């Protein structure tokens, strides 16, 4: 076992899949000679050449269309968004082409496409660089959405995403790239459609994903001290939602708290609440509580930015309120 940064875990996954399958290639802004904004593709152009690690102009709609076309013809593109916020410029290609072409072609085409890159609220990146696009893409038929949260799951999930024959949007949080974790020396893959049980417990189910997983685990230290026994679940898959695993957890705990960095209105938590109410409402002993970011453009000012987000004390207070 060796300790690996999250950005290096993603790089290892990409390198291993490119070495295994010559149809895998990378394209995006500064992915080649610069090595990517967060060095996920560092030096890969030396090993694989400039056509398999392809630097593109700053034109998201154009290179997304090129990636989808290449997927139709049998290649397996990985698109790196320099910042996931700017994938809104390629929204038409992602929605109308990547998401729908397998269906509208009558199954004649598959779209083995991975769209990955940094997102979430960083540290004073400003509103346009602090988007959380998971809610934007969640409603699009034909897409899978995955959010990694540790170096271990980042590597296993990215390898699975590259091998999948469907378009996968793969979210990485801008503040998690320098996390370190033990990774096995042997190859491993992780499922794209299953939650990760982070901590088993019996008092309350806490659902979370991405950076908020780490805020939740900070809160759990105090909750255990206060005598609570929370079950923590990392959603991993934001589309589809693994509602069966959530249902099994609620069968033990009968209480649900959802912690997300997404906006409250129309966010991932809103969809989970709808599915829980539809499929397992009778398991709840109290109303569902969700902790979400404020419905405002993320301020540049550091103190104001902090005030828009969820922090461990709010998680502690919500659990104590629900279980009192």
Using 50, 70 and 90 to split pLDDT, how confident is the model at 30? very high
Does residue 185 have an active-site annotation?
A: no
Q: Kindly tell me if the per-residue pLDDT of 128 is higher than 90.
A: no
Residue 131's pLDDT is what? Answer: 87
pLDDT of 81-98, one tens digit each? 999 988 899 999 999 999
**In which residue are the tokens 């895998």 written?**
24
Question: Order of strands across the sheet with 230-234?
Answer: 196-199, 230-234, 204-208, 256-263, 289-293
Q: Kindly tell me if the per-residue pLDDT of 238 is higher than 60.
A: yes
Angle between helices 151-163 and 6-20 (to 10 degrees): 30
Using 50, 70 and 90 to split pLDDT, how confident is the model at 220? very high
pLDDT of 160-198, one tens digit each? 999 999 999 999 999 999 999 999 999 999 999 999 999
All domains of the chain in start order, with CATH? 2-183 (3.40.50.970), 196-322 (3.40.50.920)
Q: Kindly tell me if the per-residue pLDDT of 47 is higher than 60.
A: yes
Q: Kindly tell me if the per-residue pLDDT of 79 is higher than 90.
A: yes
Residues of the chain with pLDDT > 90: what percent? 94
Residue 1's pLDDT is what? Answer: 57
For CA atoms 34, 36, 37, 42, give the dihedral sign: negative
Mean pLDDT, the chain, whole residue set: 96
Q: How many residues does this entry show for the chain?
A: 324
Please indicate whether residue 218 or residue 324 has the higher confidence score (pLDDT): 218
| Residue 309 DSSP code | S
For the segment 281-307, the average pLDDT, to the nearest whole number, is: 95
For the segment 295-306, the average pLDDT, to the nearest whole number, is: 93
Q: Which of 12, 17, 45, 129 is catalytic?
A: 129
Using 50, 70 and 90 to split pLDDT, how confident is the model at 239? very high
Give me the phi and psi of 280, to 5 degrees please. Answer: -150, 35
Q: How far apart are the C-alpha atoms of 41 and 34, rounded to whole Å?
A: 8
CA angle 184–210–160, rounded 5-degree value: 45
Taking the model in full, what pTM does it have?
0.96
pLDDT of 252-279, one tens digit each? 999 999 999 999 999 999 999 999 999 9
Cβ atoms of 154 and 9 within 8 Å: the answer is yes
Does residue 129 have an active-site annotation?
A: yes
Q: Which of 12, 60, 196, 305 is catalytic?
A: 60
């Amino acid at each position: 076992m060796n300790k690996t940064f999250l950005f290096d875990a993603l790089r290892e996954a990409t390198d291993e899949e490119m070495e295994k399958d010559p149809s895998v290639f990378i394209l995006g802004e500064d992915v080649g000679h610069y090595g990517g904004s967060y060095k996920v593709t560092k030096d890969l152009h030396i090993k694989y050449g400039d056509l398999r690690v392809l630097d593109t102009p700053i034109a998201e709609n154009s290179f997304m269309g090129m990636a989808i076309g290449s997927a139709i013809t049998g290649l397996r593109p990985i698109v790196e968004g320099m910042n996931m916020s700017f994938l809104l410029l390629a929204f038409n290609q992602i929605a109308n082409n990547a998401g729908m072409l397998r269906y509208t072609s009558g199954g004649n085409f598959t779209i083995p496409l991975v769209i990955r890159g940094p997102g979430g609220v960083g540290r004073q990146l400003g509103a346009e660089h602090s988007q959380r696009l998971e809610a934007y893409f969640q409603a699009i038929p034909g897409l899978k959405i995955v959010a990694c949260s540790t170096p271990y799951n980042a590597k296993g999930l990215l390898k699975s995403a590259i091998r999948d024959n469907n378009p996968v949007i793969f979210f990485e949080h801008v503040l998690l790239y320098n996390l370190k974790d033990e990774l096995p020396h042997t190859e491993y893959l992780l499922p794209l459609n299953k939650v990760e049980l982070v901590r088993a417990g019996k008092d309350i189910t806490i659902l979370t994903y991405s950076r908020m997983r780490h805020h939740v685990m900070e809160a759990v230290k105090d909750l255990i001290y206060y005598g609570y026994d929370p079950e923590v679940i990392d959603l991993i898959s934001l589309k589809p939602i693994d509602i069966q695993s959530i249902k099994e957890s609620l069968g033990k705990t009968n209480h649900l708290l959802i912690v997300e960095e997404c906006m409250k209105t129309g966010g991932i938590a809103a969809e989970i609440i709808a599915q829980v109410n539809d499929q397992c409402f009778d398991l709840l002993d109290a109303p569902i509580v969700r902790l979400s970011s404020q419905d405002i453009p993320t301020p540049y000012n550091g103190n104001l930015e902090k005030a828009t987000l969820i922090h461990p004390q709010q998680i502690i207070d919500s659990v104590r309120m629900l279980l009192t």
